Structure 1
Amino acid sequence: MKGILPAVLLAFAAALPAHAEDPRPLRIGWVQAMANAPALIAEEKGYFQEEGLTVELKGFGDGPVIQQAVAGGEIDVAYIGAPPVYQWATHGLDAKIIAKVNYGQAAVIAKTDGPIHALSDLKGKRLAGVNKGSGMDVLLRGYVLKEAASLSPDADLALSQMPVGNMNAALDTGVVDAAFLWEPFISQSVLRGAGRVVFDVNGALPGYPWYVVAAPAKTLEERPDDLVKLLRANAKAIAFLRAHPEEANQIIARGFKLEPVKAADGRMVPPEAIVAEARKRLGWSAEIEPSDRAFIQRLIDYSVDLGFLDKRLNVNDIIDDRFAAKAAAQR
């Protein structure tokens, strides 16, 4: 960020306590999803080291596993979806969102030659989704089905829970009629010619936030300087993703071990083209905007309405801007 930050932000950032440099590596847990690529880029390009930060980057399959690692003191900070953070709060795990990582990533796809062309066509059909009560399930039930499609998730269609890695095969073989999944699985299906996008959430809600940087109270208190360094590295990674898309796509393709896919016409589509296709539905941003707060509040409200939370939280109670403000002031 260039220029002078508003005095109120500078004062807010200055409120962070000063700590002696911590010799321990900062243990970063991250959900291994393409939308979380800034963590991968920061490691690959050496941005953590540039900021004087030693890290241990640990990949996890989903938010609940990271929650266990945070609660058990195995990691210090997480690149994770926003819903787990407010879900943690209701279970007594005090943690705060300190920055954004990405926007977009999810879509409903159906077979290219099938009868589903719009969300309304899902009525009476079989739809694949992930675990009930998870963040993606809240987005599916609360926004995609109930709000955007005016469908009852429980009465108007059959929802099948399965790992996201199994959804394309289930769609190909007719086990389900459609799937709600994320990148790179969407692009792999589209580029093979097997699936088509029926509903892109980012198309309907441009810039909606998903992955965030979150830290438990212990890390916020004991390692504020390291968190500021982390956020500077995160911002550098996002800037690189925007400024050097071709190189970034290659790093992402290697990092996620993407394989070429065979298109309907027989040509082989290289891994970096899968990443380029995925960028049509996702992007990266570090700043938490007012619209981001409003969307996370919607997710909280959906969770309450769906019976997944027993109390309504205020989004401002799970966001701490001090670290981002200090990181921006030092750029």
Structure 2
Amino acid sequence: MTSMTRWTVALLMVLMVLALPVVASAQKMTTLRVGDQIGSELDYGPYWIAVEKGYFKEEGITTVRKTYPNGPATLLDYNKGELDAVMAGLGPFLQAASQGSDYVIVSSITKGNAPLVARPEIKAAKDLNGKRVGTPGLGTIHDTMLTLYEREHGIKVEHVSAKITDLVAMLEKGEVQGVLCWETVAATTVRAVKGAHYLAPLPVIPGAESLEVIISRKIAQGQPEVALGFTRALLKGMRYIDKHEDAALAIIAKAMNVPDAIEVARLAKTQVKVTDPYMEPKSSQIIYQALLETKKITTERVKSYDDFTQRFVDYSFLKKAEESLKGWEPKK
């Protein structure tokens, strides 16, 4: 064997050895199918930050996003085994549990996020009495928040369920006099409909719980490292938003993919809080009770709110993620 041949063989062997870690790393990547809702990029901002900044990739996770009209529609696919994780409202999660669905809540992701936008002639809550108000659907957290708004102000409105994408046009045409929906659809409505305004930017319950993140119990129990990595990436996303708000809004606006995205995101951001990973207990209990009283859930499978939290909420992954991130600071 000539010197040149020996050198060539040696070089090939070195290249093969160097390539091994890359192959191994690629083989360890886990794909998670994640469901969310149309126009909710700001509400799930930590997810988009985790995607853009590579936090999921660092955990060996690749996410495939699927969007739906609302939370209940998302959970239908989850129950069919077509999703591994879901970001949606507490109302739909409570109803799904009441109907026999099984999952693990690993984190809260959004507080607030139930603004009521009204037509220009509606100046106060009393002006809505007897009027029509649009929501993204009967099973959504926003429909429940509208019920709580009625109770708080002693009024009665007609709940009009519609596709989230239709609510702007319905308000503009006068088919409804108000819409209670998620951001950034509310901000888009305020900007698009002449005279439309935030009648109630925040829910009637201060710091109200809104949206959570679930993962399948099969993954939580069978692949706990994946559940931990998924939760840690989201927590990193929350901390990035808390530390670098302007940069985070730019990333979220990019995900929104609409011409005036950054202006919409800036208008909407005060109506949501996406940096607290723990569920707000008081409002969560009120939401549970409201669903029970309106017969959207029963006590057959979920006997009480405490029963729900004991069986469906697992903060162990979140606490481990927090412990592992002590001293960690997000880079811009």
> How many angstroms apart in 2 are the aligned matches of 1:196 and 1:136?
18
Q: 1:28 & 1:184 partners in 2: Cα distance? A: 20
Aligned partner letter, 2:297? L
Question: Which segment drifts farther, 276-285 or 166-175?
Answer: 166-175
Instruction: Find the aligned partners of 1:277 and 1:328 in 2 and give their Cα distance.
Output: 30
Q: In the alignment, does 2:269 pair up with 1:276?
A: no
CA distance in 1, matches of 2:238, 2:217: 26
SS of 1:59's equivalent? strand
Q: In structure 2, the residue corresponding to 1:25 is in which secondary structure?
A: strand
Compare relative contact order (CA 8 Å, sep 6+) and give the higher one, 1 or 2: 1
How far 1:85 moved relative to its partner? 1.8
Q: Of the candidates 147, 154, 158, which is equivalent to residue 150 of structure 1?
A: 154
Measured in 1, the distance between the counterparts of 2:75 and 2:235 equals 24
SS at 2:88 equivalent: strand
Instruction: Give the AA of the match of 2:281.
Output: R
Unaligned stretches of 5+ residues in structure 1: 1-20, 261-270
Q: Is the 8 A contact 1:128 1:162 kept in 2?
A: yes
1:157–1:209: structure 2 CA closer, same or farther, 3 Å change rule? Answer: closer
- Alpha carbons of 1:60 and 1:217: their partners in 2 closer, same or farther (altered >3 Å)? same
* Length-normalised TM-score, structure 1: 0.81
The Cα offsets for residues 252-303 of structure 1, whole Å up to 9 and x where unpaired, read as 222112233xxxxxxxxxx2111011011112124315xx122222111101
Match for 1:194: what amino acid?
G
Identify the residue that residue 307 of structure 1 maps to in structure 2: 295
Change in Cα spacing, 1:239 to 1:205, as seen in structure 2 (3 Å) is same
Question: What letter corresponds to residue 162 of structure 1 in structure 2?
Answer: A
Mapped pair 1:103 → 2:97: no
CA contact (8 A) 1:109 1:198 kept: yes
String of CA shifts for 1:186-205, please: whole Å, max 9, x gaps: 21233345311111234x43
- In the alignment, does 2:313 pair up with 1:319? yes
Structure 1 equivalent of residue 231 of structure 2 = 231
Which residue is 2:96 aligned to? 88
Aligned-partner SS, 1:308: coil
**Cα distance, 1:228–1:299 mapped onto 2, change above 3 Å:** same
Verify the 8 A CA contact 2:116 2:180 in the aligned structure 1. yes
How much identity, in percent, do the aligned residues show?
A: 23
Match of 2:86 among 78, 81, 103: 78
Partner in structure 2 of residue 28 of structure 1: 34
Deviations 1:131-182 (A, max 9, x none): 22332212211x1112x1122xxxx333322122222211212222222122
CA contact (8 A) 1:85 1:97 kept: no
Q: Secondary structure at the match of 2:107?
A: strand
Q: Bigger shift: 311-320 or 168-177?
A: 311-320
Whether 2:75 is the aligned partner of 1:67: answer: yes
Provide the secondary structure at the position in 2 that maps to 1:309. coil
Q: Which residue of 2 aligns with 1:131?
A: 137
Give the structure with higher Rg (CA): 2
One-letter amino acid of the structure 2 residue matched with residue 299 of structure 1: I
RMSD value, Cα:
2.0
Per-residue deviation, 1:22: 6.4
Judge which range, 222-231 or 278-287, deviates more.
Answer: 278-287
Change (3 A) 1:75 1:325: same
Return the alpha-carbon distance in structure 1 between the equivalents of residues 205 and 164 of structure 2. Answer: 22
* 1:247 equivalent in alignment to 2:224: no
Residues 103-128 of structure 1: per-residue CA shift (max 9 Å, x gap): 1111111123x1x2221221122222
- Between the aligned partners of 1:207 and 1:83, the Cα distance in structure 2 is 16
Q: Which deviates more from structure 2 when the two are superposed, residues 211-220 or residues 182-191?
A: 182-191
Moved over 6 A (4+): none
Contact 1:22 1:223 in 2 (8 A): no
**Given the alignment of the two structures, is residue 298 of structure 1 paired with residue 286 of structure 2, yes or no?**
yes
CA drift of 1:225 comes to: 0.9
TM-superposition CA deviations, 1:304-329 (whole Å, max 9, x none)? 10111122532423211111111112
- Which residue of structure 2 aligns with residue 162 of structure 1? 162
* SS state at 2:104 partner: strand
* Structure 1 SS opposite 2:35: strand
DSSP 3-state at the match of 1:75: coil
Alignment gaps of 5+ in structure 2: 1-26, 326-332
Q: Is this contact kept in 1: 2:69–2:164, CA < 8 A?
A: no
Inter-CA distance 122–79: structure 2 relative to 1 (3 Å threshold): same
Deviation, 1:56, is 2.6
Decide whether the 8 Å contact of 1:79 with 1:212 is kept in 2: yes
CA distance in 1, matches of 2:212, 2:252: 18
Which residue in 2 is equivalent to 1:3? none
| Equivalent AA in structure 1 for residue 265 of structure 2 | V
Deviation at 1:48, TM superposition (A): 0.6
CA distance in 2, matches of 1:206, 1:258: 31
User: What is the distance in 2 between the residues matched to 1:50 and 1:66?
Assistant: 27
Q: Which amino acid counterpart does residue 145 of structure 1 have in structure 2?
A: E
User: Does the CA contact (< 8 Å) of 2:28 and 2:60 recur in 1?
Assistant: no
Corresponding residue pairs, total: 290
TM-score (norm 2): 0.81
Native 8 Å contact 1:111 1:178 kept in 2: yes
Separation (CA, whole Å) in 2 of partners of 1:96 and 1:244: 30
1:140 aligns with one of 136, 140, 146: 146
